[in-house]
Amino acid sequence: MKILAVETSCDDTCIAIAKGGKTFLNFKILSSVVSSQVKIHQKFGGVYPSLARREHEKNLPFVLKESLKECGLLAIKKNTIPKKEIVLYEKIFAKEQNLLKGFLNFVGQYKKPRIDLLAVTVGPGLEPCLWTGVNFAKALSSWLGVKIVPVNHIEAHIFSNFLSSDARRLAVKQKNVLFPSIALIVSGGHTQLILVKELGKYKILGETRDDAAGEAFDKIARILGLPYPGGPAIEEIAKQLSMINDKLSIKLPRPMIFSKDYDFSFSGLKTAVLYDYKKRPKKIRESKEYIVQMAREAQEAIVEVLVKKTIRAAKEFKAKSIILGGGVSANERLRTLFKEKINKMAAKPLLLFPEKYLATDNAQMVALCGYFYWLKSDKIKDWKNIKACADLRIA
Ligand code: KG4
Ligand code: ZN
């Protein structure tokens, strides 16, 4: 069977095509395309939902074409689209006129590819962005005559770890080595600590009360005059150890590190950075030395809180593994600190993290999650019953 997955929850337009078989082990990515909008949002230092939606509308037909081409499923065939179908597509894309044009153009030019199932991210995420992907999947579903699995974006980030066949083998053959697990999903929009009893069974232990960890990286980078996305920019500049000394004595709080719950809060950290920045003379705060040291301290503050709370949850729930996901999980310092702390634990849970390019948004993880539910004959829906849900919860 072949599955086509669509992901548009934030600012990346992503489509992946994969091949499945009889079990969770038989899964192979055939193609994957990510069209990043970073350049567009860089000017604003963050993602503007209405702008992102407009870009998704423009990108989706093109990304579809590229992903089909990459795996040899694109074939030219001029078609006249029946009036009845056009009326249906007009209804689906009532709020996305540009996407309607792009979709009709595609359907009029290419042969129906042999796809057996669709998967689409329905939430959580930015509402207008989610709807473009969801409506695109609905129209494709109607055109191809196949069903859709609606996918939770947070769950997809958990699944990004299982794109590795080794991790999949463990999940199938040695479940007791992996579960229960604690998943830390940290991205631009979300920070959640989740108890994973097994794949498909979750309980949210805690989450951010205000800004997400990635959002904190992005906002702090902006204060320091670093480009968007802030996470990679801060990580990169914080590596310049030759700039580190005690002269500036920069010290930031570790918000909620000792609180008894598993919640997080990062907006105070951003305020603390802004406060320190404003009180320094212009010459100092714009110096390389200051920017490097502040970036490093901010990264330490965020990473220490994330690691401390995750390790505490792992101990309390006797986790066999810790699973990382989301853009912030690409951070080397976060991965290193996890390894150090796990080494000091008696139980030494396994540490799973996705390959860096799969830590940020992509449709491969959506395809795998959709495939998982297809194998269970669960969540497979008619396109008429699919809708976006910006604040969808995993449990
Ligand atoms: O998962 P993702 O691609 O999109 C959302 O679902 O939000 O995550 C994007 C976020 C951004 O806030 C970005 O600054 C952060 O992930 N990020 C990083 C790194 N790479 C991306 N944060 C820290 N270190 C990184 N290397
Ligand atoms: Zn994400």
CATH number for the domain spanning 236: value is 3.30.420.40
Predicted local distance difference test score (pLDDT) of residue 179: 98
> Do residue 293 and residue 251 come from a single domain?
yes
Angle between helices 127-144 and 49-70 (to 10 degrees): 30
Of the candidates 325, 344, 308, 17, the residue with the CA atom closest to the CA atom of residue 167: 325
Q: How many Å separate Cα 323 from the centre of its chain?
A: 14
pTM summary value: 0.97
Question: Is the CB–ligand 1 distance for residue 361 below 6 Å?
Answer: yes
Question: Is the CB–ligand 1 distance for residue 123 below 6 Å?
Answer: no
> Do residue 79 and residue 198 come from a single domain?
no
> Do residue 104 and residue 190 come from a single domain?
no
> Do residue 203 and residue 117 come from a single domain?
no
Atom from ligand 1 closest to the CA of residue 332:
26
- Determine, yes or no, domain membership for 280: yes
For strands 191-198 and 201-207, give the pairing.
Answer: antiparallel
Ligand approaching nearest to the C-alpha of 11: 1
Of the candidates 77, 82, 35, the residue with the CA atom closest to the CA atom of residue 56: 35
> 16 CA to middle of ligand 2, Å?
15
pLDDT tens digits for 237-270?
999 978 778 788 999 999 999 999 999 999 999 9
Q: For the chain, what is the domain count?
A: 2
Indicate the residue among 297, 319, 341 that finishes a domain: 319
> Do residue 185 and residue 75 come from a single domain?
no
> Do residue 127 and residue 198 come from a single domain?
no
> Do residue 140 and residue 89 come from a single domain?
yes
> Do residue 96 and residue 17 come from a single domain?
yes
Of the candidates 189, 218, 299, the residue with the CA atom closest to the CA atom of residue 44: 218
**Residue whose CB lies within 8 A of the most ligand 1 atoms, among 217, 235, 236, 358, for a mutation test:** 217
- Determine, yes or no, domain membership for 226: yes
Peptide bond into 82 cis (omega under 30): no
Query: Quick one: tokens of 88?
Result: 């249906």
> 187 CA to middle of ligand 1, Å?
5
Predicted local distance difference test score (pLDDT) of residue 246: 78
User: Contact at 8 Å (CB) between 63 and 70?
Assistant: no
- Determine, yes or no, domain membership for 299: yes
- Determine, yes or no, domain membership for 279: yes
Predicted local distance difference test score (pLDDT) of residue 36: 87
User: Contact at 8 Å (CB) between 126 and 9?
Assistant: yes
> 325 CA to middle of ligand 1, Å?
10
> Do residue 26 and residue 113 come from a single domain?
yes
Indicate the residue among 319, 336, 368 that finishes a domain: 319
- List, in order, residues 6 or more apart from 67 with CB less than 8 Å away: 4, 15, 16, 17, 31, 32, 33
> Do residue 15 and residue 64 come from a single domain?
yes
- The string of DSSP codes covering 132-188 is HHHHHHHHHHHHHT-EEEEEEHHHHHHHGGGGSHHHHHHHHH-HHHH-SEEEEEE-S
Indicate the residue among 266, 288, 319 that finishes a domain: 319
Residue 264 structural domain: 180-319
> Do residue 92 and residue 127 come from a single domain?
yes
For the chain, list residues with pLDDT below 70.
Answer: none
Question: Is the CB–ligand 1 distance for residue 276 below 6 Å?
Answer: no
- Determine, yes or no, domain membership for 375: yes
- Determine, yes or no, domain membership for 395: no
> Do residue 297 and residue 370 come from a single domain?
no
Atom from ligand 1 closest to the CA of residue 187:
8
Phi, psi for 22 (deg, rounded to 5): -95, -25
Question: Is the CB–ligand 1 distance for residue 263 below 6 Å?
Answer: no
User: Contact at 8 Å (CB) between 200 and 226?
Assistant: no
CA distances from 28 to 16, 139, 369, 391 (A): 11, 25, 13, 30
> 231 CA to middle of ligand 1, Å?
6
Question: Is the CB–ligand 1 distance for residue 211 below 6 Å?
Answer: no
What is the spatial distance between Cα 12 and Cα 63, in angstroms, rounded to a whole number?
A: 11
Coil/strand/helix, residue 5: strand
